């Protein structure tokens, strides 16, 4: 988040700011993507943590369908903000803003204190509505 309140997503020298077009996988590197989808206030079992870590690894390898499959299986075991947040990021890099926003909103239902997720939802919800219409 910049000093002016605008959200930035960076990866290397690439920077995404107010452009509503979905970025490529290489241009998305938020705090969520920096390696910790396990939020401190979630009661995650070792099995769920393994699922989320595997899905995150697949995400970094740009194996998005496999990552979503792992996350969906994990969500059947236990609904977690971590899995929904990661799923939202995967949908987002695939250009499915509406589905990304839905996943991020699910994460917020579980953990309303996720400020980064709130910012993403606020920023992209309008785009998701336009996409769905």
What pLDDT was estimated at residue 133? 58
Q: Which domains does the chain have, with CATH numbers?
A: 9-132 (1.25.40.10)
**Is the model's pLDDT at 116 over the cut of 70?**
yes
**Residue 32 confidence (pLDDT):** 42
Q: Which residue has the tokens 């910012």?
A: 119
- pLDDT computed for residue 39 by the predictor: 53
Dump pLDDT digits (tens) for 71-100: 999 999 999 999 999 999 999 999 999 999
Does residue 114 have a pLDDT over 70? yes
Contact 48, 78 (CB under 8 A): yes
Average the pLDDT over 103-126 and give the result.
91
Total Cβ atoms within 10 A of residue 60:
12
CA 81 – CA 131 distance, rounded (Å): 24
Of 29, 35, 30, 26, nearest in space to 53 by CA: 35
Task: Report how far residue 87's alpha carbon sits from residue 107's, in angstroms, rounded to the nearest whole number.
Answer: 10
**pTM of the full predicted structure?**
0.69
Residue 74 parent element (H or E): helix 64-77
pLDDT at 108 over 80: yes
Q: Tell me the pLDDT tens digit for each residue of 2-53.
A: 555 554 444 334 444 444 444 444 444 444 444 444 455 567 888 999 999 9
Over the range 11-27, which residues count as b (16 or more CB within 10 Å of their CB) and which as e?
beeeebeeeeebbebeb
């Amino acid at each position: 988040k910049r000093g002016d309140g605008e959200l930035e997503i960076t990866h290397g020298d690439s920077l995404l700011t107010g452009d509503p077009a979905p970025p490529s996988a290489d241009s998305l590197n938020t705090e969520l993507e920096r390696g910790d989808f396990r939020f401190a206030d979630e009661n995650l079992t070792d099995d769920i943590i393994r699922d989320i870590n595997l899905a995150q690894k697949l995400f970094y390898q740009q194996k998005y369908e496999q990552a979503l499959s792992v996350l969906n299986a994990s969500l059947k075991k236990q609904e977690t903000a971590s899995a929904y947040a990661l799923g939202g990021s995967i949908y987002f890099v695939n250009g499915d803003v509406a589905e990304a926003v839905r996943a991020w909103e699910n994460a917020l239902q579980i953990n309303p204190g996720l400020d980064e997720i709130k910012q993403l939802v606020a920023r992209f919800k309008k785009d998701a509505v336009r996409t769905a219409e």
